[in-house]
Amino acid sequence: MEPPHREQRHPDATSRLDNGSSDLYDDVLSDTASETSSVEGGAGGREFNHDLVFIDEFDALSIELKGLAAATQQRPPIPSAQHAASAGPSVAQAGPSVAVDVKQRGASRVAGHEGGLKGAPKLGKYPAREHARKVAKQLGVLKGLIYLPGQVTQHYEDSDQGPAFHQRRYFYYITGANHPNCAATYDIARDLLILWIPLVEPRQALYFGAPPSPDVLKSQSDLSDVRYTTELPRYLRTYLTSNATPPSGRTRRVPCPSTVFILHPDQTPPIGSDTAPGVLVLDSTRLQPAMDESRVIKSSYEIAAIRRANAISSAAHRAVLTRLKRMTNEREIEALFRGYCLAVGGAREQAYPVIVGSGSNGATLHYDANDEDFVGRQTIVLDAGCEWALYASDITRTLPVGGKLTAEGRAVYGIVERMQERCIGMVRPGVPYWHLQLEAVLVAIDGLLELGILRGSRGDVFAAGTVAAFFPHGLGHHVGLDVHDVSGRETLILGAGTAPAAGLGLAAGVGGRARRRVGAAGKREWITPEMMASMCRDARTVAMPFKGRQSMQVGMVVTVEPGM
């Protein structure tokens, strides 16, 4: 089971979404508006009225760390091997209140829109230069040129068709431009950020439409200038020759070349073959770590975009819930979720493939076949979130197929709910994220011991890492331009020197060069029993500040996604 759906009564709230959507969703909206939630308990199981169940304020589970007083770095109490099995975990409550943004959304409201998903919020100009300056600061240099190519138009082999356009996230981070065949340069010394766009011929515009003009692009994003890519090679040659430090007599008899920072060796700038030798040094080692570190702390624009994505996705989850009793197959849920995000929320893209896993399919973290019937199955895991302005959301909920859970299902459901709520209660600046992972593990151990699924003492089970068989993944991850966003120079959960599971962390690049997958950290970290045992030892012996593991900071956006 993944993070559970939490039901609550509300005497007079409704969740009707005022919008101009098509009639396709009218019955969903009217059902949601007219019904109230109902929960009935009995010996036969837990009853849910699917017509309306209000999701609590953490339905989106993307948590923005707010600027309250930072907490001291204090571990969850770690049991010794002799610790009694009955002793439950206890999180110290001293210190500031939980530093997360908590909003009651009893009527499925979006911040700034009392009527629900009515209209799209105005995010303002994309903070391109703010982001570029952050990257330059992380590079630790006062001059040099950052060069980033955007994604090019692609076609399938032997076809004039191609995949949907997906912009390179590093490029978008410093431009805010979601258009193909572009490039970006940032002159660090001059604070000059230029977006380079293709010059589209009239025939291309006839077929595919004209791209935005330079003036429109500058009105949308904080760019120094927008120019055409036909001028880029000449600009680069001029920059390199004018910025190469000349010889200085006896101490240096040859020019000192300019440094161009690039992400990967195969992304070289188009300088041409006639460029004078010795004027260029390509650095492909420092830019990606600097950009990763910059992306960890979100700007106010980024947080607003993620909020909007969360709001749309949360409303789509509710729409599924109101129709669930009428559905018989996983694909129906996927169709409704995708359609709702687009027709009602205006979100065309999903942040990742929709996961609708009924029965045992829900135990596969990234199951996406979504084409099996619900017959004979008790639960459905719906893991889905849309994008807004390229920024992701990520929401996971477990729903009862027939409105009822067995006694065993109800017990496991409750364990996961406690894991989630306990970890959310620990979120505040200064707390190492891996402490949340440990707390989730301790809650899981207590629950499994209570059910008789595990035997022995709490401390022995914890030290052996046995719970990893039931909770084999990381608790959560950063969210941003990627759903499994970058984590910077440190990781959320696994410490420095801990090797990730084979096959999860690297992707082959051009020429066989391995590139690190952005989403390798966080939930995709495979937590083996050996790793869990190592974390247990570290929790008892490693001195703070736990080198290599990340503490939460103001401006991070993270998920809390326990499962069992």
Would you state the pLDDT for residue 528?
75
CATH 3.50.50.60 fits 128-154+164-247+254-294, yes or no: no
Sign, CA dihedral 546-548-553-557, equals negative
Would you state the pLDDT for residue 278?
66
More confident position, 68 or 350 = 350
Would you state the pLDDT for residue 78?
61
**Distance (Å) of CA 552 to CA 52, 67, 413, 491:** 35, 11, 28, 11
Would you state the pLDDT for residue 64?
57
**Distance (Å) of CA 171 to CA 96, 116, 192:** 38, 33, 16
**Distance (Å) of CA 117 to CA 29, 163, 345, 391:** 12, 29, 6, 17
Sign, CA dihedral 429-433-437-442, equals negative
- Where is average pLDDT lowest: 158-162, 280-284, 490-494? 490-494
Instruction: Express each pLDDT in 109-133 by its tens digit.
Output: 443 333 457 667 789 999 999 999 9
CA distance 336 to 374: 16
Q: Are 185 and 147 in contact (CB under 8 A)?
A: yes
Q: Are 89 and 77 in contact (CB under 8 A)?
A: yes
Would you state the pLDDT for residue 82?
42
- Where is average pLDDT lowest: 96-100, 262-266, 515-519? 96-100
Q: Are 336 and 9 in contact (CB under 8 A)?
A: no
CA distance 186 to 135: 10
CATH 3.40.30.10 fits 23-89+97-118+299-559, yes or no: no
Q: How many CB atoms lie within 10 A of CB 202?
A: 7
| 23 CB-near residues (< 8 Å, 6+ apart) | none
Q: How confident is the model at residue 44 (pLDDT cuts 50, 70, 90)?
A: very low
Would you state the pLDDT for residue 65?
61
Residue with tokens 């508006």: 33
CA distance 369 to 354: 9
Q: Please name the amino acid found at residue 383.
A: D
Q: How confident is the model at residue 269 (pLDDT cuts 50, 70, 90)?
A: very high
If you average pLDDT over residues 355-373, what whole number do you get?
95
Mean pLDDT of the chain: 78
Q: Are 7 and 400 in contact (CB under 8 A)?
A: no
For 197, the enclosing helix (H) or strand (E) is strand 192-197
Label the pairing between strands 145-149 and 183-187.
antiparallel
More confident position, 50 or 137 = 137
Would you state the pLDDT for residue 1?
52
If you average pLDDT over residues 12-18, what whole number do you get?
29
CA distance 369 to 153: 28
For 260, the enclosing helix (H) or strand (E) is strand 258-261
Q: How confident is the model at residue 12 (pLDDT cuts 50, 70, 90)?
A: very low
Would you state the pLDDT for residue 505?
42
CA distance 217 to 176: 9
Instruction: Express each pLDDT in 317-329 by its tens digit.
Output: 999 999 999 999 9
Q: How confident is the model at residue 259 (pLDDT cuts 50, 70, 90)?
A: very high
Tokens representing residue 514 in the block? 């391995």
Nearest to 331 by CA among 385, 365, 363, 367: 367
Residue 68: is its pLDDT beyond 60? Answer: no
Would you state the pLDDT for residue 549?
82
Residue 41: is its pLDDT beyond 60? Answer: no
Would you state the pLDDT for residue 21?
38
Nearest to 368 by CA among 356, 383, 384, 352: 356
CA distance 316 to 21: 13
Backbone phi, psi, residue 451, to 5°: -80, -10
Would you state the pLDDT for residue 116?
57
Label the pairing between strands 258-261 and 280-283.
parallel
Domain ranges in the chain? 23-89+97-118+299-559, 128-154+164-247+254-294
Residue with tokens 């949308």: 220
More confident position, 148 or 544 = 148
CA distance 455 to 296: 40
Q: Are 72 and 430 in contact (CB under 8 A)?
A: yes
Would you state the pLDDT for residue 214?
97
Nearest to 482 by CA among 217, 298, 243, 316: 298
- Where is average pLDDT lowest: 106-115, 331-340, 466-475? 106-115
Residue with tokens 């000059």: 192
If you average pLDDT over residues 446-472, what whole number do you get?
92
Residue 290: is its pLDDT beyond 60? Answer: yes
Residue 40: is its pLDDT beyond 80? Answer: no
| Terminal CA-CA length for the chain | 5
Instruction: Express each pLDDT in 213-242 by its tens digit.
Output: 999 999 999 999 999 999 999 999 999 988
DSSP annotation of 326 reads G
Would you state the pLDDT for residue 531?
77
DSSP annotation of 77 reads P
CA distance 564 to 555: 29
Q: How many CB atoms lie within 10 A of CB 401?
A: 19
- Work out the percent of the chain whose per-residue pLDDT is above 90: 56
Would you state the pLDDT for residue 92?
34
ω into 545 cis (within 30 of 0): yes
**Distance (Å) of CA 256 to CA 240, 253, 519:** 11, 9, 38
| 547 CB-near residues (< 8 Å, 6+ apart) | 495, 496
How many helices (DSSP H) and strands (DSSP E) are in the chain?
13, 18
For 532, the enclosing helix (H) or strand (E) is helix 529-541
Give Dmax over CA atoms of the chain in angstroms. Answer: 92
Is 346 in a helix, a strand, or coil? coil
More confident position, 521 or 210 = 210
Residue 450: is its pLDDT beyond 90? Answer: yes
Q: Which residues are registered as beta bridge partners of 507?
A: 515
Q: Are 384 and 492 in contact (CB under 8 A)?
A: no
Would you state the pLDDT for residue 355?
98
Question: 479: number of CA atoms within 13 Å, CB side?
Answer: 31
Instruction: Express each pLDDT in 374-399 by its tens digit.
Output: 999 999 999 999 999 999 999 999 99
Is 270 in a helix, a strand, or coil? coil
Would you state the pLDDT for residue 119?
66
Instruction: Express each pLDDT in 399-431 by its tens digit.
Output: 999 888 899 999 999 999 999 999 999 999 999
| 348 CB-near residues (< 8 Å, 6+ apart) | 342
Nearest to 311 by CA among 19, 90, 82, 34: 19
Residue 370: is its pLDDT beyond 60? Answer: yes
Residue 284: is its pLDDT beyond 70? Answer: yes
If you average pLDDT over residues 72-80, what whole number do you get?
59
For 387, the enclosing helix (H) or strand (E) is strand 387-388
